[in-house]
Every structure is written in structure tokens, then in C-alpha cells.
Structure 1
Amino acid sequence: MVVGVLAFTGVLIALWLGVQSLTNGRAEWVQAAAGNGFRIGCFIVLIGGAVAWYWWSRQRKIVVSVTSDGLTVNTRPGEVYSFGDAKLGTWGMSGGMTMGTALHLHCGSRRFILGGRDHRVARGTRLDAPDVGYGLPVDIDASVSAPEFEEILAAASGRGALDVREPAAGEPTHCLLFANPLLVQEIGWFSMGKKKQFLESIGQPRLAIDVGAEAIRVIDPNTNEVIASVPPAQVTAAPVMYRPSTWHSFWASGGSFLSDLLGNYWGKMPYMVVTVPGLQPLTIGCRDSVSGINHRFWWSDDVPMRADERAHYVVSGADWLTVVEKFGLAPHLKQKGVAH
């Protein structure tokens, strides 16, 4: 919507300046401005068209079906993607956290990658395929929910070489906490070395939380040292919505109007304040998105808004849903539909 409005405004400005340049007595600067306005308008239209095409391509419905030989796709009639040489890989690990699991299939030289949103693999499962990325463009052809992905894997593992393992009974869910990349805006303009060091480290988890039925454990993921272990009843959590103030966003972005505009939209983040006895409160957010553009998660309107502090940590969509459910915040959660 924002891109469309900007594109339409740019075109109107260019047309108005063009008309003015044809009027007798107008200065040469008007004609120059008309040319610049036209070029800017065309550029905005081009960017807007690219964004619109990407959004449409990620929203269209793709139907996959399981056959006796493999997988068929409604957008590729006549092709059967065999389970015989199927491989599993991560979806998004290169971005520091995983969005799920990806199933790599082939039909001759043609490739099809199916993503399982929020799907977890048990420890020991072979992941032979390369990671398919986290940012834009996401190198998958379609995605399904975790339960649907499990059903497809069950069929694939019985007809191919996949070795899919079931999680052990009672095994706690291992949630990884990464540094919030938006904290880079809190670093001063001239601390380029510090910014570079921070950005290079955001792909490494800072903490881990094992969510189990009997205990909540906070762990150092690099040494496996248990920092805290308490019964679930002793852990409390409160939902908070972060929205950067216009003034803060303006100065953090170096005074750029466009960065300020985008920062107020993409800078928003739902997070929770988790209190574990013996530790400083943990502020945990989620930056997961739908189609790479729209926020996937949001809190209900009754959740307080804050502009004084960002979340220190972020988690994947799957881990976010786990901690939201475990800490009793599900009634406050809003979620946009999972992509195609």
C-alpha cells in the first residue's frame, strides 16, 4: 500500500512538472525538475512493481499431492518429484535461526523445494541438503504447516532414503535466543568497528531455553552450562509491544526520512518479558514474517506499547510459539496466515 501511494504520487508530480515545463516563460529548472521527477517516478513504479510481483508470487495457492511414486504439483502438470533421492535440509539457518525444515525433491533436472514452516527435526536426523536461506529471496517453491509437513515426511521416509527420527518421549524443546539485530541502531554513528563486530555475531545464539514439563532451564549454548533451572510455575512472562518513537528512529537512522518511515513499520516488534528466579528479566521478541514482508505475529490491542527499550533477544517462529504457549501468553497472540 505504501509503495503504491508513493509510486502514484511520484507519477503525478512528474506529470505536473512536465505540463509546467511546456508553459511559456517557465525557467529551465522546471524542465530539469520535470525530467528528474519523471525518472524518480519511474524508479518508484519499478520498485513497487517488483514488490507487488513478489508478494503475489508468494501468496498464490500451490497444491501438492502425495502419490505412490512421489510428489506432484498443480503448477507443474505431468511431473512427479521422486521420494527416492529426496533430501532434508534447514530453512533459514544462514540467518541465525531456522524458519523450519526443507524437503529437496527432483524430477529429472527439475527441482522442487517444499518448506515445512515451524517444523522441528529430532536430534540425529540427517540433514544432507544445503540451507535454503532466511532473507529475500527465499529459495523455496512452496511451504506447508508443520503437521502437513510431518505427513509428507512420513510418506517420503517409507518410500525413499530419508531417515526421519521421532523426538524422544519427554524430551524438552530446545529454543535458541539470538541477539536482536535491530539493536545495531542503539550503537553510535561513529562506532563502525563495534557495529561490524555486532553484525558478525548475530548468527550465533546467545542463550538457550529448554522448555520441559518438569523444568525450565536457561543454558549457555556454547558451553552447555546450565545457568538456571526452575519449575515452570516459578517463571512468569508479560507481553509488550515495542514501537520506536519517531524522534528515536530519526536519529538512529541518521536523519533519513525513508529510514525513519520504514523503521517505524519494520521496527515494531512483539516481545515478552520473561522473569526467571535468579536472573535478570529476559526480553524476547520475534521478527518472523509472512512472504518476507508482513509481520507474522502481533499482540492484541490490550497489550501495552513501549518505546524506551527493544527486546534484547529474538527467536524463530517455532520457538516463539513454544514459549508463548508455555508461558500462558497465547490469549494475547495474533497470527497472520502461513504462506502458500
Structure 2
Amino acid sequence: MKSHILTPPVAQPGAAPSQAATGRTLNWGVVATGRIVAKVLGDLQALEDANVCAVSSRDVVKARAFADEHGIERAYGSYQELLADAQLDAVYIATPHGQHFEIAMAALAAGKHVVCEKSLTINAAEARTLVNFAGERSLFLMEALWARFTPAFARALAIIESGELGEISWVQADLGFLAQYDPAWRLFDPKAGGGALLDLAVYPLTWAVGALGFPDSVQAVAQLNADGVDTQTAINLGYAAGGHAQLMVTLTGNAPQQARVVGSAGWLATNTPLHNASQLIVHPTDGPARVEEFEAVGENYGYEFREATRCIQQGLTASPTMPWEHSVKTMELFDTIRASVGVRYPNDLLTH
């Protein structure tokens, strides 16, 4: 059975992302200084053809401190100032979800290539507008769904494509942790696109889409808090050919954080966490079980930035591994789920 997304360029089991230059050096700017940026930055800076030369925050003092800590030359007190920097070729956006559309549109309008954290936008209308604008401007745009580029996921796709597991019929995946309520935290802020769905569900969904494609039907139930964001959501995906996927995301407890793919001739599973697995456990029906190991390279974000850099250098506007169509379809699916469980965001009221 063929998988429904393309195998990443770094598809060899355990292969490290090449840090050697594959083309001209790109000058990067980073929008935001939060926890995720601190994790990602080292892997981006490790690429020989990536020069991270600017960072922005709403607080210029915070931006300057972050820049000094990470060896970045220029610090700005707003994303508008950063985007006015004529030396920048590309920007990495890592703000809360609710700001992604505004900043990514501004970056494209300023002529910058864009890598934007997941989820790409709040809703499908924003996603469609964004990708259409990138196409009109002939600029690269990619959702930073780093899990798609890791060796363990690439290897899992290769196993599925090989037919070793037979016809895939069932995927089960979960992701969750205990998040202590704080109304100021983006996870619980509707303006930021808070909730388990937008923050976590894309990772379990990646396994379902990789094995079965996008679904023909979806059902969901969710637990909402007083702020109107989902603290737990269960998703059932149906496929006309007979496959099913069961996905769970939660902010109410520590989940196993594993994925399982079941076929007519065997099954495979990840260890924890499914979005950055270091092991695949493979159980063929007619053969011995085995464990395949994968060592992390840095924080494992280098794979997605190697792909983005390669695409920009080659004049591509979209990554074959993380195509625009998949980002838009994901937001359409999430829109359907949110409508069924009653989650609404302020961005939904805007016309783009």
C-alpha cells in the first residue's frame, strides 16, 4: 500500500540532516523568543548555509537579551521592524497560532520566504489565503511540522509502502500532558488559538495521514473549559475503503504519546513521544518482531530546515514533503472538528 505523503529527502534510517551547504547562504530572521525558538534555533544555526542574523519580540529588551544569548546580531522590538530588514531572505515564525496569519502575510508582502510553526493558521480560510498569496508572490511557504521530516517517521512510511504490514486498516495515536490552568497561557487563550486540538492533534494526525491519507468522514467529542477551548478531544476518522483512525489529544493528563499502525500482515508502533520517536517496534505476522533505533541529531529540527533551505535555494515555493494542500486540508479537518464540538476563535469572525 502506498503512503499518502511523500517520503522526506532524508529517508534513510538514522540518516542525519546534512549540515553542509547545498547552495547560497540564507539570512534568517526569527519572530518570537519563546521556548520553542530556544529549542529550534541551534539546529537551524548548525546548517552551514543558514545565517540567523535577526530576532524580534514585542519587548526589545527581551529580544536583545535573546539575541546576545544565541549569538544573533540584530534585535527588534516588533515583527514589522524585523520584516523591514532588507538583508533577510527568510523568516521563521513561532508566535502563538492566532498571530500566524497576520505575521506570515506581512512577511510574504515584504518579500520574505516563510517557515511558520504549526498549526499554520487558525482556520482553513486563513490557510487558503496565505498559500494563494505565497503563490502569487512566488515565495516559499512551509508549515513547520517537523515530525514529518524525522528519520523514524520516514522509515515508518517506507515500511508501510513496502507492503510488509499488508493493507493498512487501523491507526491509533495519542498525545497529551497535564497542563495546569493559567488564563494567561496561550494554551488556554482563545485569541491565541488555545486548546489541545490546534496545539497537539497535528502530530497524531500525521500518522493517520501517512498511513491512510485524509479521511472521508470525521467524528469528534471534546471537553471544553470555561474559556471555550478544548482541554481534551477524541477524534474518529473514517475511510471509504474501510480504514479507521482513532486519535486522542489532551491537556488533562500525561498520555502514552505513541502511535500504532495496523495492517493485514502486521503492525508497527512508536515509543514515546510519537512526534520524535527514537524507536519503531515492528511486528510482522509471519516473522520475528524487531526494534529499529534512531538517534536524535540536536533536537531533530534540522531535518525540516534542511528541506526548507534546499527548496528556497532551488526556487521552489512549496516543499514536496509538507505541501500546501496538506496544510489546507488539515485546517479544513480541524474546522470541521471545532464546529462539531463548539470551539470558536475570534479569528473565525474575520474575513480574509
Structure 1 length as normaliser, TM-score? 0.26
> Based on CA coordinates, which of the two structures has the bigger radius of gyration?
1
Higher relative contact order at CA 8 Å, sep ≥6: structure 1 or structure 2? Answer: 2
Structure 2 length as normaliser, TM-score? 0.26
